[in-house]
Amino acid sequence: MLPTLRYWLSPKTAKLRFAIWLALLVMTALSGWLSWQNGARIQSDILAMLPKVSESPLTQRAMAQVEQQLANRIYLGFISDNEQAAIDAAKLAMAKLQQGNSNSSSCSDSDSASNSSPFIDISSADMAQADALNSYYFKHRFQLLTEEQRQQLQQGNWQQLTQSALEKLYNAFSYANSELISRDPLLLYPDSLLSLAPSQQLNVKQGILIANIAPSAATPKPQYAAIVMAKGRDSAFNPNAQHAQLTVLDNAFTAVTSQHTATSSQANSIEIIKAGALFHAAAATENAKQEVSTIGLLSLIGVIGLVWLAFRSIMPLTIAVVTVSSSMLLAIVATSVIFGELHLLTLVFGTSLIGISIDYCFHYYCERLNNPQDSSDNIIKHIFTAVSLALLTSIIAYSALGLAPFPGMQQVAVFCAAGLLGAYLTLLLAYPVIAASPLKDASRALNLAQHYQAFMLKRFTPSSLRAKLLLALSSSLFIAAGLWLLSADDDIRQLQHTPIEIQTEEDQLRRLLSGGTDNQFLLVSGATEEQVKQQLEKLEPVLQQAEQDQLIGNHLSLTRFLPSQASQQMNYHLQADIYLHHLDSIVAQLGLDDSIKAKLVADYQAGNRQFINAESFFSHQAGLSFKPLWLPAINTDNSSAQANTEYGAIVLLGGIKQLNTFAALFDGNAHIKLIDKVGDISKVMGHYRQLTLAFLAIALIVAGLIFTMRFGNKLAAVVIAVPALSALLTLASLGILQNPLTLFHALALILVFGIGVDYSLFFAESKQQTRGVMLAVSMSAISTLLAFGLLAFSQTPAINAFGLTLLLGISFTFLLSPFIQNFTRKSANVD
């Protein structure tokens, strides 16, 4: 140890170091306070933690618009044997959702914001949409024709259209009137208007969407489902917004149930089904609360009991709390200052540093138990090298995570590295003062640790060459078989656990809505607006065929609302047969007054080149609801010569049944791209899983090189072999257990590496005086398993993966690390 360092770790500087530690805590707390005052916040949206998918600007805009359009939407179904009862329930629910949290109409202005509904766009059937479409399209009627009308005019069958108009005129239920006939004598426009409506298996009664449910074995009578839709003002992943939305929904459901109970018999009860991200997020939140309370309580009781049994004193537990608290303070502040926010998942995964930082406390106190005559400063000198190397290797491992362009892992890396540094500084600066009091005799715990290690070394150390070869062969076969069986699963949906009842209700609503809308969609692009429109027209028959082949359930495209200019021009010229060539015959056959002919011709000629275009359509009330499906060109470059004028249109898809087969339909088409954000993020997570494992391998190599300078080649290889072999055994065990490898398994292996290296280092540094180290390693392993191994019992797949990996990895590390003593006996002493 260098003289300067030896001086700084001497009793002469203990008070100065303690003062520096206090000043550091005060400065850290002040920095944290200033950071929160300047806008730092807790981030609860899980999407903010996910890796960013590298896409073109147009694709990014498309994903943002679809996410904005579909995110935070909820769908409610009110099912009853009585159609009117279902309609009444839907109307009451809509009224309650619009009312929000208001309990009276006499609230003050200051309370109006807090009492406003957490939902917007509360609707069922849009009764004003048809009027808006008619208002917009009538002036463009000469540019519109249905496919059947177009074919008849192309074949010169204007007489057949005339006959069809006569039948409509004499039909008692016809929509024709004198005003419409005088401006559209063949009644072509109404059919064109009707063709704009998307096909669906829903009826509209009293402004409410109604789905008919056929009788089944479970419900022998036909049922009716009234559909209500709404959108949350804020993200469903925001805890406050989630609570507000659920409260209003519960009030609405209670009101519906109460009203129906008062007016109907039990036989005609109302069943309420729900769908939307809100209900998945709420279930995940509730599940997390239950698991945290249960697992957290068990972990806390276990760690307190462990410390008490080992030291028979409350002081080590107090010092452990101080160490972890200072570590967490530095971690939280550093992350907040660097990123401007702290994600809740960073706290979840970042708490893994507790498993390492508390080890510093365990090693310190176990060394004191083993050398009761030494002062606090001498104990710190004894473990200084091991603790410093452990800190260095752990920071290397976490820094490797920070190199990946993955926002979540960058935060976790900074959080854990800063936290470990905080624990390390607490040990060096504060322990000589706050942890200097003598301990009670705990030779029993030390003797138990010594007996355990002696038993392991005696029973499981192979003595003969044959035994060594057999052990090596069996271990290699186990690892090889496990790795062969190991598969990977990077599906982003593993981040949450969805109860069966919620998924069942969502599937039922999807069926009622003819498939609903999926996360995947098609992006149609082009250099001009006209090019995009023409691509949409070419795409339409492909999508219709895909529906017939049951590759998808439904789709929503702008092509029926925004026909190409070429199609509009063709429709206009085809109608010249009506208004310029055969108008006299048509008016005569229909029995209309000749006075209307001049006006009809004038209107037709004035309609030339009056094209439907995106700007006029989306600025009109008729097109507002479809505006999110259109991507106008924007200049993405400051240079006008290289301006990006790419246009785009989004085609929503529902009920996708064969995604890969459907995607293959557009292979080779540069203008059509299937956007699958869930799939893309899953692929990126798979990439980062591989990257994390690669970083782990690099960290092992770098740590090995560092240890070589300290221990020499042979002992350094042994020290690094413990975490390396533990990682391989863990991966093999996952394969044998048929547990697919995910990013979260890989992240947990980083922690296994950090803790495993600590165990190895302390055994290597202790030479033959391993009794205290064995006790510290035992306590560390047990506390880590209590804190994180219990996560293996979580129902959330991501947390389960993290916990299971730690359970296996720390167990293997704990079992392997004592055998380092077999090699330290043969190695030269190191200072």
Per-residue pLDDT reduced to its tens digit, 762-775: 888 876 667 888 88
Radius of gyration of the chain (CA): 36
Angle at 794 between CA 790 and CA 800, to 5 degrees: 85
Q: Which of 159-173, 265-279, 520-534, 644-658 has the highest mean pLDDT?
A: 520-534
The pLDDT > 70 percentage for the chain reads: 87
pLDDT at 176: 64
pLDDT at 26: 94
| Band of residue 534 on the pLDDT scale cut at 50, 70, 90 | very high
CA distance 12 to 582: 112
| Band of residue 264 on the pLDDT scale cut at 50, 70, 90 | low
Q: Average pLDDT in the 251-273 region?
A: 77
Q: Average pLDDT in the 324-352 region?
A: 81
pLDDT at 112: 41
Q: Average pLDDT in the 54-72 region?
A: 77
Average pLDDT, the chain: 82
pLDDT at 685: 80
Question: Residue 162 pLDDT more than 80?
Answer: yes
Does residue 222 sit in helix, strand or coil?
A: coil
Task: Outline where DSSP puts E strands in 409-559.
Answer: 521-526, 554-556
pLDDT at 109: 41
pLDDT at 352: 63
- Model pTM score: 0.74
Does residue 675 sit in helix, strand or coil?
A: strand
Q: Average pLDDT in the 676-685 region?
A: 79
Q: How many C-beta neighbours within 10 Å does residue 203 have?
A: 13
Does residue 81 sit in helix, strand or coil?
A: coil
Q: Average pLDDT in the 133-159 region?
A: 90
Q: How many CA atoms lie within 13 A of 532 on its CB side?
A: 26
Q: How many C-beta neighbours within 10 Å does residue 185 have?
A: 24
The torsion angles phi and psi of 825, rounded to 5 degrees, stand at -65, -30
Kind of pairing between the strands at 41-43 and 341-343:
parallel
- Pair of tokens at residue 514: 């003819």
pLDDT digits (tens, 9 = 90+) for 469-484: 998 999 999 999 999 9
Q: Average pLDDT in the 378-385 region?
A: 88
Q: Average pLDDT in the 389-395 region?
A: 83
Task: Outline where DSSP puts E strands in 21-70.
Answer: 41-43
Q: Average pLDDT in the 655-677 region?
A: 87
pLDDT at 104: 37
Residues with Cβ within 8 Å of 447's Cβ and at least 6 positions away in sequence, in order, are: 771
Residues 307/317, Cβ–Cβ less than 8 Å = yes
| Band of residue 278 on the pLDDT scale cut at 50, 70, 90 | confident
pLDDT at 51: 61
Average the pLDDT over each of 2-6, 18-22, 116-120, 738-742 and give the range with the smallest value. Answer: 2-6
Find the helix or strand (DSSP H, E) in which 470 lies: helix 465-485
Amino acid identity, residue 742?
T
If one compares 262 and 376, the residue with the highest pLDDT of the two is: 376
pLDDT digits (tens, 9 = 90+) for 698-741: 888 888 898 898 888 888 899 899 999 999 999 999 999 999 99
CA distance 734 to 486: 7
CA distance 447 to 531: 82
| Band of residue 355 on the pLDDT scale cut at 50, 70, 90 | low
pLDDT digits (tens, 9 = 90+) for 596-640: 899 999 999 999 988 999 999 999 988 888 888 999 987 645 444
If one compares 23 and 520, the residue with the highest pLDDT of the two is: 23
CA distance 683 to 53: 9
pLDDT at 106: 39
Q: Average pLDDT in the 268-295 region?
A: 78
Residue burial 397-425, b: 16+ Cβ < 10 Å; e: rest = bbebbbebebbbbbbbbbbbbbbbbbbbb
If one compares 478 and 440, the residue with the highest pLDDT of the two is: 478
Terminal Cα-to-Cα distance of the chain (whole angstroms): 8
The pLDDT > 90 percentage for the chain reads: 22
Q: Average pLDDT in the 40-60 region?
A: 67
- CA-wise closest residue to 666 among 501, 539, 756, 779: 539
pLDDT at 29: 92
Q: Average pLDDT in the 448-460 region?
A: 87
pLDDT at 763: 86
Q: How much of the chain is helix, strand and coil, in % rounded to 5?
A: 70, 10, 25
Long-range contacts of 259-267 (CB under 8 A, 24+ apart): 259/88, 259/89, 259/92, 260/80, 260/85, 260/88, 260/89, 264/82, 264/85, 267/81
Distances (CA, A) of 165 to 175, 587, 769: 11, 11, 104
Q: Average pLDDT in the 57-84 region?
A: 83
- CA-wise closest residue to 747 among 392, 398, 415: 398
CA of residue 604 relative to chain centroid, distance: 54
CA distance 279 to 290: 17
Average the pLDDT over each of 136-145, 290-299, 667-676, 757-766 and give the range with the smallest value. Answer: 290-299
Q: Average pLDDT in the 349-358 region?
A: 68
CA distance 640 to 644: 9
CA of residue 674 relative to chain centroid, distance: 20
Average the pLDDT over each of 213-217, 332-336, 504-508, 637-641 and give the range with the smallest value. Answer: 637-641
CA distance 553 to 517: 9
The residue assigned the tokens 């093999």 is: 732
pLDDT at 533: 94
pLDDT digits (tens, 9 = 90+) for 198-247: 555 677 788 888 888 877 777 778 888 898 988 888 877 777 788 889 89
